[in-house]
Amino acid sequence: MTSSDHITTETAQDDTENGMSSTRSKLRDYATRLDKAMQGGGESRIKAQHDKGKYTARERIARLFDPDTFIETGLFISHKAIGLMKGKKPIDGDGVVTGYGRINGRLVYVYAQDFTVLGGSLGNAHGKKICAVYENAMKNGAPVVGFNDSGGARIQEGVDALAGFGEIFFQNVNASGVIPQISVIMGPAAGGAVYSPALTDFIIMVEETAQMFVTGPEIVKTVMGETTSFEELGGSSVHSFKSGVASFSRTDEDEALDLVRKLIGILPSNNLEDPPAIDATDDKARASSKLDTIIPDDPKEPFDMFEVIEEIVDHGDFLEIMPNWGKNIIIGFGRLNGLPVGIVANQPKVLAGSLDIDASIKGAKFIRFCDSFNIPIISLVDVPGFLPGLDQEHGGIIRNGAKLLYAYCEATVPKITVILRKAFGGAYIVMGSKHLRTDVNFAWPTAEIAVMGAEGAVKILYRRQLMAADDPEKLQLELEEQFRDEFYSPYTTARLGHIDKIILPSETRPRIIEALWPLLTKREQRMKRKHGNIPL
Ligand code: HXC
């Protein structure tokens, strides 16, 4: 039964029996209008939506929120009937459903573009409704979830539609770092529409039904002479594996909705709140003997950093972000003794864990998110350096590596770093070293901390001796051994005060949890300024 059923039946009966009372007819009229507005683009378009494996805007919202908590806003807002919309009937809601509700009891704002109404295209009023969602979400300090399913700017409204987009972009930027913003792409996000999700914190794409592209296949063909499809141009796999646009992809809408609810459960509602801690059900003193044997004897042999993360976080529960892009760095959320933390970890299994352009951008963006929303950052380090090569240098590893460095320096949330194995050169500094104001720095006894690897260092330092030697290979190995003993040792670094403590691998979880609780009241002020100039 819809909210209007009651009014419709009762008032209809009264109207017939008593003649039209003006109040009753108004109530009846309201009920009829409400029912019509709720139907969006009507039955056949809803069926077409379902046939594509997609929910409607209202179905998405109903599944997102706790039952019966959604309150709709702006239901009767419509277009201004200008441009090619002149003379067209009003469209209740103007193709977007907006409002607020609760996720696990917490306030969350939402907008959901309704593809059944003019292809979810964004007219001026549609844009204003989304902006109103943002204004209220910011005033009340709650996250915004946006369901994108639209053909882009409503062509019939001309520049007024562009104005709608411009206003949304402004709100996205204004809200950045104030409230979490999650974009869920569940259909096309075409043209300038893509820039709203791109300005938000997380983009979730649904496989096969979601596509994001600035210019569609037809324009690509006309301008560039390239033949392509929507999926090849901007499907979820493109943005998960190639472009790095998507934070997550999920196989269907239900999975994507579950993910939104999970994410909301980890994030604070706004930048003035701490992330939501839950009662810890995993032992905070839990040691892991597996970690004592995880580092291979051969320094060139990789290990899987995921196994380390799973041993450390509560119940091994880790939500990885961007799992298929920049795989040499791992980012994501876990909990430690019930408190959400952000994990940044090198992955020795991919490119030996070295930092390249993609990994630097990926890490930097995540660190800045955590810093904005009071989420402590735990860094797990096994990094041989920045990835060498023409591709990287010409692609701007200097400019892009600087982003990661900048993000670590800028972050004032609690920061804890553990060096597991290699931490060489500039990459040692970048990956949350003490010099960047990390609060607590641990190293495992297996840590190797140096300006550079022994092989390269010996070749530079002892070039003449090696050239003159009878057996240069033997000498090289001997000198490498000496170099390792002298410079690699974590005890040297600890003696210099650059490491706070050397810990057993098996004790990593309890030691991090111990180090974290005093930092929860941490306050660190930096020089006041308008904003820094992060190298972009
Ligand atoms: C008005 C639109 C529309 C739009 C779709 N429709 N896009 N109406 N403005 N931008 C309408 C269609 O006319 C159609 O109406 C209905 O929505 C469903 O569209 P279909 O094409 O039948 O659906 P489908 O085959 O699923 O294809 C969806 C689509 C395609 C891939 C999104 O419609 C498309 O390519 N649209 C244009 C996408 C685009 O290039 N947008 C950029 C606009 S410019 P009827 O009544 O026939 O059912 C832009 C610049 C913004 O966005 C810049 C901001 C900075």
Site to substitute for ligand 1 among 44, 96, 118, most atoms within 8 A of C-beta: 118
Binding site membership of 152 for ligand 1 (Cβ less than 6 Å): yes
Binding site membership of 153 for ligand 1 (Cβ less than 6 Å): yes
Rounded CA Rg of the chain? 28
The CA-based angle 337-343-344, given to 5 degrees, is: 160
Residue entry with tokens 């999975």: 255
Q: Tell whether 153 is covered by a domain.
A: yes
Quick one: pLDDT at residue 14?
Answer: 52
Binding site membership of 189 for ligand 1 (Cβ less than 6 Å): no
Nearest CA to ligand 1 atom 3: 151
Binding site membership of 118 for ligand 1 (Cβ less than 6 Å): yes
Nearest CA to ligand 1 atom 20: 119
Q: What H or E segment, with its residue span, contains residue 339?
A: strand 339-346
Query: What is the Cα 26 distance to its own chain's centre?
Result: 47
Write the DSSP assignment of 174-208 as a string of letters. HHTTTS-EEEEEEEEEEGGGGHHHHTSSEEEEETT
* CA of residue 130 to ligand 1 center, whole Å: 19
**CA distance readout (Å), 376 to 89, 182, 197, 264, 274:** 52, 20, 25, 17, 10
Site to substitute for ligand 1 among 121, 156, 165, 168, most atoms within 8 A of C-beta: 121
Quick one: pLDDT at residue 4?
Answer: 43
170, 135: one domain: yes
* CA of residue 198 to ligand 1 center, whole Å: 20
Binding site membership of 513 for ligand 1 (Cβ less than 6 Å): no
* CA of residue 120 to ligand 1 center, whole Å: 8
**CA distance readout (Å), 308 to 190, 370, 429:** 40, 21, 22
Site to substitute for ligand 1 among 122, 155, 168, 221, most atoms within 8 A of C-beta: 155
Quick one: pLDDT at residue 15?
Answer: 53
Catalytic residue among 166, 265, 426, 456: 426
Q: Tell whether 536 is covered by a domain.
A: no
Residue entry with tokens 């041993």: 311
Q: Tell whether 181 is covered by a domain.
A: yes
Q: Tell whether 494 is covered by a domain.
A: no
160, 31: one domain: no
Catalytic residue among 123, 191, 235, 342: 191
How many whole angstroms separate alpha carbon 205 and alpha carbon 198? 12
**Atom of ligand 1 at shortest distance to CA of 45?**
48
How many whole angstroms separate alpha carbon 79 and alpha carbon 93? 9
CATH of the domain at 235: 3.90.226.10
How many whole angstroms separate alpha carbon 369 and alpha carbon 375? 8
Q: Tell whether 4 is covered by a domain.
A: yes
Q: What H or E segment, with its residue span, contains residue 133?
A: helix 124-140
Nearest CA to ligand 1 atom 36: 151
Q: Is the dihedral of CA 57, 60, 65, 66 positive or negative?
A: positive
**Atom of ligand 1 at shortest distance to CA of 161?**
51
Q: Residue 3 contacts by C-beta under 8 Å, 6 or more apart in sequence? A: 34
315, 402: one domain: yes
Of 211, 233, 266, which closes a domain?
Answer: 266
Q: Tell whether 524 is covered by a domain.
A: no
131, 217: one domain: yes
How many whole angstroms separate alpha carbon 243 and alpha carbon 361? 12
239, 343: one domain: no
**Atom of ligand 1 at shortest distance to CA of 150?**
32
Q: Tell whether 378 is covered by a domain.
A: yes
Quick one: pLDDT at residue 407?
Answer: 98
421-468 confidence digits (pLDDT tens)? 999 999 999 999 999 999 999 999 999 999 988 888 999 999 999 999
Binding site membership of 155 for ligand 1 (Cβ less than 6 Å): yes
- Burial classification of residue 120, based on how many CB atoms lie within 10 Å of its CB (0-12 exposed, 13-18 middle, 19 or more buried): buried
Confirm whether 453 is a catalytic residue. Answer: no
Q: What H or E segment, with its residue span, contains residue 72?
A: strand 71-73
Q: How many CB atoms lie within 10 A of CB 259?
A: 19
Q: What H or E segment, with its residue span, contains residue 98?
A: strand 96-103
Quick one: pLDDT at residue 402?
Answer: 98
Binding site membership of 192 for ligand 1 (Cβ less than 6 Å): yes
* CA of residue 493 to ligand 1 center, whole Å: 60
How many separate domains does the chain show? Answer: 4
308, 392: one domain: yes
12, 49: one domain: no
- 318, 325, 330, 316: which is closest to 266 by C-alpha? 318
76, 221: one domain: yes
Confirm whether 277 is a catalytic residue. Answer: no
* CA of residue 155 to ligand 1 center, whole Å: 8
Query: What is the Cα 261 distance to its own chain's centre?
Result: 14
CB 356 within 8 A of CB 387: yes
33, 141: one domain: no
Catalytic residue among 31, 175, 345, 427: 427
How many whole angstroms separate alpha carbon 177 and alpha carbon 195? 17
At 335, list the tokens. Answer: 């909990």
DSSP 95: G
Question: What are the average pLDDT values for consecutive 10-residue runs of the chain, which has 536 residues?
Answer: 44 53 92 94 96 97 98 92 81 95 98 97 96 98 98 92 96 98 96 93 97 93 94 96 98 98 98 96 97 95 98 98 98 98 98 98 98 98 96 97 98 98 96 98 96 89 93 94 89 95 98 97 94 96
Q: Tell whether 129 is covered by a domain.
A: yes
Residue 45 backbone zone (phi > 0: left; psi -120 to 50: alpha; other: beta)? alpha
3-state secondary structure of 274: coil
At 4, list the tokens. Answer: 């209007």
Work out the end-to-end distance of the chain between its first and last CA atoms, rounded to an integer number of angstroms: 53
User: For 446, what's the count of Cα atoms within 13 Å in the CB-facing half-sphere?
Assistant: 18
379, 459: one domain: no
214, 180: one domain: yes
217, 111: one domain: yes
Quick one: pLDDT at residue 2?
Answer: 43
At 477, list the tokens. Answer: 């190995």
Nearest CA to ligand 1 atom 18: 119
**CA distance readout (Å), 84 to 51, 87, 94, 165, 416:** 30, 8, 15, 18, 58
Q: How many CB atoms lie within 10 A of CB 526?
A: 10
Confirm whether 427 is a catalytic residue. Answer: yes
Quick one: pLDDT at residue 91?
Answer: 87
* CA of residue 150 to ligand 1 center, whole Å: 7
Residues comprising the chain, all counted: 536
95-120 confidence digits (pLDDT tens)? 999 999 999 999 999 999 999 999 99
pTM score: 0.93
Catalytic residue among 141, 166, 177, 192: 192
Q: Is the dihedral of CA 374, 380, 384, 389 positive or negative?
A: negative
* CA of residue 95 to ligand 1 center, whole Å: 13
Domain assignment of residue 300, given as a range: 289-447+499-519
Confirm whether 192 is a catalytic residue. Answer: yes
